[in-house]
Structure 1
């Protein structure tokens, strides 16, 4: 097996190479003066199972070179070409909200499905889709972050209390809490008018001595977490821990969050907040897909 890393996290690529007992593929990449990409593969990939690690955060900058690399690997005789992308882009636009809008999740899925033999990702944004199989036509594995987050909480947080910002988060928060062996509560909102909304914890007395832990799949603007932490502070709870699977941190979101909470993310998107390792389950997912492929 060979692992190629055109644009992503070198630390994660190194971990995957070791865990899969693979070779690191050697690439030469540069841009021509007109902005076009040059790519050359220096490794012999004949009859090799080739895996490309390409984190599709900022996808418009990375997708074209990713397609060039996959196509070149096939032309050079690769046995299979798979994609490992901890952050799968273009999943949020899953419906046409306004006439003429591009439902971008579908053409992006069609593009990747026509290029790769399989796909491995972590906790994609599945809102209106039940699974990736609804739009991707290649075998895929979704690695769940909940067990990794729960293990981190068990090891690092004394007396955690998981907090869900609203009723929509209850199922996700309850799952992580169960795995961590910790209690959870969901904030209750009482609306008395358009601009008169109060938020409270249903059982404040039992929460007083515990460390509040907020968990979300994506931290982008951070507004939801900041608003939730504000209510926790008003209730007199200790400093919170804010955990995100995908830490995007648009604008000054990270700076604002670190003022009021200890911020932790998985290693899906490289960031100084990364504390939760994801390499082992990603490697296992690649093994499973290749085993399935060989068995057929």
Structure 2
């Protein structure tokens, strides 16, 4: 199989990691903006007959989506056999129902946009809250990868006597999986949300695990308020500031400073480029992409061996 990888701006390091693992060539897309902020996209590599993948994590998607769709259409028009998207962070999964009358169901609309231009999608731990599977809204092939084994490997290699803590019930799937994989105890707090940046944390009693290193685990660090409030509860119980371990480091404005003020160290995967990136995804993404390009991935949940 002839395959080629293309990086959208800001994804060069992740693209190089996938290329190193797979041995595939990297092509060149010239992407820039005109003075009026419209996007310019030019293909500078031959792709005729090749399976191609565009690497573009979709944090802050509104700044990226048009040039991404233009690039996909251009690759297909230039003779690519298939066009795939590797988006380790998948945006627009939050609005998975109409919470109020008249709201746009943006998760479905965004899925339709991407499915219209790509043959396949590879992503990591998307926010599947009310959807059982990405196939419910995406009409292309999808591979949804679990990063918890990679997070567990990092904890195993870097932390003695860890205590894994989920800040809320939704984080249980990551906290519980990591704890099982490394044989560590874990606890899950309860959260009530009063607004995007206003959350209350009800902490469990952690007294039985004094002397262990607390690690707060979540899928996304966004505003940072959930993790910061949970960290304060942990500190109040006599523990040192926890390590905040997450799959996706979105870091909305002020989030990083908020967590540093509490004393937290932040560790994330490279799904979104950030100084906290310490967990590589190249092998995980490359293997899944290869299976998908060869027609064997489909709409599956894949975890590393």
> Under a length normalisation based on structure 1, what TM-score does the superposition of the two structures give?
0.92
How far apart, in 1, do the equivalents of 2:62 and 2:45 lie? 27
User: Using CA pairs below 8 Å that are at least 6 residues apart, which structure has the higher relative contact order?
Assistant: 2
Q: 1:10 to 1:233 in 2, by over 3 A?
A: same
Contact residue 143 and residue 297 of structure 2 kept, 8 A? no
Q: 1:186 to 1:36 in 2, by over 3 A?
A: closer
2:182 pairs with 180, 183, 206, which one?
180
Cα distance, 1:129 vs. partner? 0.4
Cα distance, 1:221 vs. partner? 0.9
Any stretches of 5+ residues in structure 2 without a counterpart? Answer: 192-199, 299-305
Q: Equivalent residues in 2 for 1:194-273 (5 A)?
A: 199-204=202-207, 206-259=208-261, 260-273=263-276
1:146 pairs with 145, 148, 169, which one?
148
1:66 matched residue in structure 2? 68
1:113 pairs with 112, 115, 126, which one?
115
2:34 paired with 1:25 = no
For these two proteins, the number of residue pairs brought into alignment is: 287
Cα distance, 1:42 vs. partner? 1.1
Contact residue 14 and residue 282 of structure 2 kept, 8 A? yes
Cα distance, 1:172 vs. partner? 3.1
Q: 1:63 to 1:163 in 2, by over 3 A?
A: same
How far apart, in 1, do the equivalents of 2:246 and 2:296 lie? 33
Residues 79-114 of structure 1 deviation map (CA, whole Å, 9 limit, x = unaligned): 110000011110000011111110100011011111
Residues 110-168 of structure 1 deviation map (CA, whole Å, 9 limit, x = unaligned): 11111111000000011110110100011111111100000000000110000122344
Larger radius of gyration: 1
> Under a length normalisation based on structure 2, what TM-score does the superposition of the two structures give?
0.89
Contact residue 8 and residue 53 of structure 1 kept, 8 A? no
How far apart, in 2, do the equivalents of 1:75 and 1:287 lie? 22
2:195 matched residue in structure 1? none
Q: Could you tell which deviates more after superposition, 24-33 or 123-132?
A: 24-33
How far apart, in 1, do the equivalents of 2:279 and 2:117 lie? 30
Give the alignment's Cα RMSD to 1 decimal.
Answer: 1.9
How far apart, in 1, do the equivalents of 2:216 and 2:84 lie? 34
Q: 1:47 to 1:230 in 2, by over 3 A?
A: same
Any stretches of 5+ residues in structure 1 without a counterpart? Answer: 190-196
SS at match of 1:292: coil
Q: 1:83 to 1:230 in 2, by over 3 A?
A: same
How far apart, in 1, do the equivalents of 2:26 and 2:92 lie? 28
